Every structure is written in C-alpha cells, then in structure tokens.
Structure 1
Amino acid sequence: MLDKIKQGLKKFLEIVSTKTITEKKVEEALWELKLQLISSDVSVIVADKISEEVKKSLVGVKIGLLEDIHELVKNSLRKAIEDVLQVSITGKIDLASEIKNKKNKPYVIALIGVNGVGKTLTAAKIAYMLKNKGLNCILAASDTFRAGSIEQLEKHGSKLNIKVIKQGYGSDAAAVAYDAINYAKARNIDAVIIDTAGRVQTDKNLMEEVKKIIKVAEPDLKIFIGDALTGNDMIRQAEEFNNSLKIDGSILTKVDADVKGGAALSISYITKKPILFIGVGGDYKDLEDFNANKFIEMLMPN
C-alpha cells in the first residue's frame, strides 16, 4: 500500500539532502517527484501543488551549521502533503455523535457513485459500524435498476439483522427512500442508509434520478463512494458528482489493495470535502476512519 508515492518521496529526499540546497537541484528533483506522483495516480493539480509548496519552503532557505538538511527537506514534504489533505484533517465528521445529537430522527445517509465501486457492501459496513456503537438503523434499497441489487442488500440485512426497505425493480428509487424515512420516523430509528444505483457521472438521466432521491430524502450526509484502484478516473467521478450534488465527503473502497495511493492523496483537495472512511477488506468490520495524519506518516520516507 502506498509504495509508489513513498518511493518517489524517498528519492526526492535522497537527492536534495545530499549537498547544499540550490534552486536548480530542487527544481530537477521536483520534476522527477512530480512525474512519480502523477504515475502514482496523483492528479496533476495536486502534484503541481505539492511541488510548488516544497519549492517555496526550500529554495533560498538558509541552513544553520548544525541543522539537519535531511529533516528540513522531510518536513517540507510533510507540510506540503498536510496542506493538500487539510480538509480531511480539519473537516472530519464524528458520524456516531452526529446521529446521536440529531433531534429530529432519522439521520439520513445517501451513498452515491458509479457502478461496481462497492456501494452496497459499504452501506452494510456503515450499518454494522453504527450497530456496534449502539445505534439502530435501516437500509433503503434505492438501487431499483441493477439486477440482483435488492437481493444483495437483503442478504446483508439478514446477516446483520437489519431491516431493508424495498420495492420492486423499476420502481421509483426516490419513493423507496421516502418509505424508508417514514418507516424510521414512525419507529424512532436513529439512521437510514440509502443505497443508490451506480451511475456514470456524465449520464444526465441517471444523474437526474439521484438528484430526485436527494430532493425527496434531504439527506444529512451525501457520501461519494469511490474505488481507490481506479485512480484518476475516481477523481474525475468525484469532481462531477460534487459539482452536481454537493457531496459532504467520500469513502474510498479497496484501499488495502491500492499500491499507488494517489487517489487518496488527491480526492479531498479536488472536492474540498473530507475523506470520511476507507474500506480495507471484504468483511463488515473492514471500514476504518480515515486518519489523515496517520496516512501522511505512512507516506513519509525514513
């Protein structure tokens, strides 16, 4: 995990830390770093941002006689990455507390994204997490388009002993969400998790359908679900969904298999919304809070 970016940062650190820091040496090393970042699925905008911040912090700096050049360069890298991930550091949401503190229940969570990124499993993982924190929730099967989607969600619901609200295939997805919210209101249920159909962000008809779900359900939290392995494709998807629906944050799936790490480094800077959780496996327990500071330390070379 994250091997490619870490290698690029390590190489930059080794080149720049060997002798006196000069503008030429920094620029040459930054060019190599930028190429490595881009090849690791970091967006060009984010790669440029990191390079610019590192250059500003290093070029022209006066180094004291006893100052450690290696640590100076390492700290400049860390600071640049912190800046890129700032919204994920400061914009974290304590989901359980948000749900507990909402006066008018239920707290509504809508999961959105393209096909095949793991929205349904992520819905089940969130339900499992909330249940373990003493909260009750139900699942809304608002994916009425994909064959087998309702049965898949019902299977998760059965395993977790969590109610699934559904209608038939081809029915109004917004009506399913509406029914689920009313069911939860009548029974004082803490949260409703809405699983929506995957849709290509450029398909206007499908985007209109999810807009209708959002309008009817008025979710407290709109979460973009993205597959970390798809790199820059995921970043473009997140940007389009954010432009259309104003997401509140993201969950990245398959992070455990992502050797590049560029998507995680880019998405919160591009959308200006935090990464909330990461999926690190196929079990219900494999949903972790995204800890930006821990992520940065994992990237930093020795």
Structure 2
Amino acid sequence: MFDALAERVQSAIEKIGRKGRIDQETLNKGLREIKLALLEADVNYKVVSKFINDIKEKALGAEVVKGVNPAQQLVKIVYDELVEALGGEGAKLELKSKPAVILLIGLQGSGKTTTAAKLANYLKKQGKKVLLTSADVYRPAAMLQLKKLGDKIGVPVFLEEDEKDAVKIAKDALKKAKEENYDVLIIDTAGRLHIDEELLEEAKRIKEETNPDEVLFVIDAMTGQESVNIAKAFNEAVGMTGIVLTKMDSDARGGVALSVKGVTGKPIKFAGVGEKIEDFQPFYPDRVASRILGMGDIVSLVEKAQEVIDEKEALSMQEKLLSGEFTLEDFRKQLQMIQRLGPLQQVIRMIPGLGSQKILKQLEEVIDDKKLKRIEAIINSMTPEERRNHAIINASRKRRIARGSGTSVKEVDALLKQFVQMKMAMKQMRKMQKKLAKKGGRFPFPFM
C-alpha cells in the first residue's frame, strides 16, 4: 500500500544522510521531497503541513548524538512523527458490556459485510461467543452474503429477511444475544453510494437503541481523500469510536491511513490486508511506520508464523534438514509453509534490513511467488519414490516430470541441482554444530 510513498521518503532521508550534519538548507530540500510524496499519496494537506513542521522543528533543534549519523537521527524523528500521524499507540476494542455491541457503519462498497465476518472470526479465535446480524433492509443480497460468510466461519447470523425496519432488526438481535448469553453482537448496517440524511438518521437511531460499546467506521483505502471527508461527516453526525481500514494490501497510495486520525480524531483499530477471512489484523501505527521507512516488522512476521505454521512440524523439518534425511517431499512441505505466510514481497518487507525499496527492487527476480509455484508443480509431478530418492531421476524421468508440470527439463535440472547444494550445505552445518557442541558452544540455527 505504501510502496511509492516509502520509496520517496527513504530516498529523501538517504540524501540528507549523505551530508555530515543536518543544516537548514539540506533539511528543507529533503522535507520538500517528503512533503510532495505525502501530497501525491493523497494525504490531507493540513496533516502534511503539521507533519513537516513538526519534523523540521525537532530535526533542527535536536542535539547531535555521539555515534549516530544525521540519517539515523532523522529516521528516528520521521518515525516518531509517522507513528503519531497514524494514531500513536495501537487502539484496542473496548468491549465492557455483556453482550458487547459493535456497530459497523460506512458507505456501500467499503467492505462492511466482509469486515463484519472478519471481525467475528477474529473475536471467535479469542474465545468469544459471537452473533452477527444484518440491518441492511435495502439490499437482500447483503443479508445473504453475511449468512454465507457466517456459515463459513461457524458464527450464527440473526436475520429477519421480511422486516423492513432496520432499527427493529438491531433491537431483536440484541434481545437474542442477551437471552442466549452471547459475548459480542456485531451489527452490519446499510450503506449508500454517498452520504444522505436518511442513512445518517438510521445509523443514529440504531446507535441510540443498542447503545454499542464500539462504533466502527469502515473505510476503503482505495477511495482516497474523499473517504476521509466522509468519515469526518459520519463522525460529526453519528459519532464513532474507531476506524477499520479495508484493502490495505492494495496499491492504494496510503493517504487515508495517514490522514484519518488527524481529520477525525479517531484511531484506526483494524486493517483488512487481503481477501481471505483470516486477512484481518489489529492496526499498529509503530509497525506500519517501520515498514514505510524500510525498517521491517519482525513482530508481525513472528505472529503470522505462529498463527499459520505448526511448531512441531517446523521443529521436525529443522531436525530433518540437519540430519541429512531431508527429501524433496520435505522440501515441498517447506515451500507450503513459506507460502502460508503470504506473498513473498510482504514477508521480505517485514525482515529488518531487507524492507527498503532499494533492496526489494534488487530482490525482485528472486522473491517471485510464481517461481515457488513452478517449483512446487515440478515436485508434484514426481512419483512418491522420486520425491523420497532424487538420485533415481534420470533423463527420461526428467522429461516426464517437465511435461507433467508444464515446465522445461532445464528447470527440473536446476531444481535438483539446488536441492543437492542445499543438502550439502546442511551437512556442513551439521558438522559445525557437532564441533561447537564438543567445545560447549551452540550453533545458532537460523531457519524456522
């Protein structure tokens, strides 16, 4: 989402860092680039103005820290201001009632219904008993969509398909949630293609009748600055406690994320980062700021790994790697583990030292998800015996494997060569590990 912005900001900081010290002329030139980058990213001009002025004031007033170069010092200042612009500390849900009510509001097409299901799934994983309901009486398809999503994640959905009063549906759903001892009720409301009084009035009445713990405005990152103005209008008319930013994985310019807190005063609490139900996470301003500056986000990477990779499976794979028993079957499982983490570009961005736009461009050919799929296809075309013992794969077998996987014999050869080299490297690592163990040391195995 922040690729273009990140590239410009990182480039500007790098230019400033080439100087021996941060003087006013150098800083002004660098900040002019950052300002243009923010405006091109569709960040609200008032937010940009405050952001640049605050950086300038702190950079010129900062004492030079011994052993820290100007670029490092400026990175810290820009990082702090980015975190502040994105909302400061990560804001959590405040669910104090039983049942706690979460009201989702926003325009049509912003992703409210999908967000309702994603949020329900997120809370269910935390052990909450969740009930979903749709108060969208204008689009029957919205109710059916929510029911389908609820069935998919195993969360019940309360529907009154023939009822035309959205407020009554919300009240009836709350009554059911109380009677059946639910922890959380999530209400999906109707949207429009634009703001109108009827929409705002209905949302206000539902809020008055259900007294929600959270009123979350769902905003589409792709709609740019206009959606920030809409959020402001909703906040002034209905009131909200936080924001859910959808399509954060898109090629949107990032202006919404950097503007919305400054314009509405309300924090982003969650972000949709993909189309799958699981692609939903709390919004952490410090982690997003780190990614924009190319500093990585190792905490999110570890959390993702813990979520999608079984620890016992990973340890077993590690032992096979070091013992020399690693086969192409195991290699295929390892590829599948890696792919569970998400697109390689996203994974690399989270690794400190590899997240800068310059390095990502250098790694473009290497970090190609399509190549992983082709490698997996080659291994899938092998027989179980070939996967267990790659040494039996002769010329005729290679031709058959290439035909079956839609690849070339050259690609099959390259995979087998890389696999042999990897096994040899693991063998050497095992020897080093044993030598260190004899001396009382420990080899820090970096995988998994």
Q: Return the TM-score normalized by structure 1.
A: 0.90
Q: Does 1:185 align with 2:186?
A: no
Asked whether the 8 Å contact 2:9–2:33 carries over to 1, the reply is no
Output the amino acid matched with 1:9: V
Work out the CA distance in 2 between the residues paired with 1:158 and 1:243: 35
What secondary structure is seen at the aligned counterpart in 1 of 2:143? helix
CA distance in 1, matches of 2:199, 2:162: 15
Deviates more, 1:21-30 or 1:58-67: 58-67
CA displacement at 1:254 relative to structure 2? 0.7
CA deviation digits over 1:138-176, x for unaligned, max 9?
A: 111101112411111111122233222222367111110
Partner of 2:297: none
Give the superposition deviation at 1:39: 0.7
How big is the shift at 1:226? Answer: 0.6
Shift of residue 180, structure 1, vs aligned partner: 0.3
Q: Could you tell me whether the CA contact under 8 Å between 2:132 and 2:185 is conserved in 1?
A: yes
1:5-154, aligned counterparts within 5 Å? Answer: 5-19=5-19, 20-59=21-60, 61=62, 63=64, 66-87=67-88, 89=89, 92-93=91-92, 95=93, 98-99=94-95, 102=96, 104-154=97-147
Aligned to 2:212, what secondary structure does the other structure show? Answer: coil
Q: Does 1:253 align with 2:246?
A: yes
CA distances 1:192-214 after superposition (whole Å, capped 9, x unpaired) = 10000113563112111111111
Runs of 4 or more, structure 1, over 6 Å off, are: none
Q: 1:64 to 1:180 in 2, by over 3 A?
A: closer
How many residue pairs get aligned? The number is 294
Task: Quote how far apart the aligned CAs of 1:50 are.
Answer: 1.4
Equivalent residue number for residue 347 of structure 2: none
1:159 aligns with 2:160: no
Q: Does 1:217 align with 2:195?
A: no
Distance (whole Å) between structure 2 residues aligned to residue 268 and residue 242 of structure 1: 12
1:61, CA displacement in angstroms? 4.9
Match of 1:245, as an amino acid? V
Separation in 2, partners of 1:146, 1:74: 48
Aligned partners of 1:141 and 1:131: how far apart in 2? 18
Is 1:227 aligned to residue 220 of structure 2?
yes
In structure 2, do the counterparts of structure 1 residues 72 and 185 end up closer, same or farther at CA, with 3 Å as the change threshold? same
Contact 2:107 2:195 in 1 (8 A): no
Residue matched to 1:243: 236
Q: Tell me by how many angstroms 1:267 deviates.
A: 1.4
Q: For residue 4 of structure 2, what is the amino acid of its counterpart?
A: K
* Matched letter for residue 28 of structure 1: K
- Gaps in structure 2 of 5+ consecutive residues: 295-355, 357-448
Displacement of 1:59 after TM fit? 2.6
2:17 is matched by which residue type in structure 1?
A: S
Of the three residues 201, 205, 208, the one matched with 1:208 is: 201
Q: Is the CA contact 1:4–1:259 (under 8 Å) kept in the aligned structure 2?
A: no
More strand by share: 1
Q: Deviations over 1:105-149 (max 9, x none)?
A: 210000000110110011011111122222111111101112411
Matched, 1:298 2:291: yes
Q: Quickly say closer, same or farther: Cα 1:169–1:203, change in 2 above 3 A.
A: farther
Measured after TM superposition, the shift of residue 83 of structure 1 is: 2.5
* Cα 1:60–1:161 shift into 2, 3 Å: closer
Higher relative contact order (CA 8 A, sep 6+): 1
* Alignment correspondent of 1:176: 169
Pairwise CA distance, 1:250: 0.7
- Aligned with 1:162: secondary structure? coil
Quote the offset at 1:31 in angstroms.
2.0
CA distance in 2, matches of 1:86, 1:150: 33
More displaced 10-residue stretch of structure 1: 10-19 or 62-71: 62-71
Corresponding position of 1:262 = 255
Tell me the CA shift for residue 269 of structure 1: 2.3
Alpha-carbon distance, 1:28 to partner: 2.8
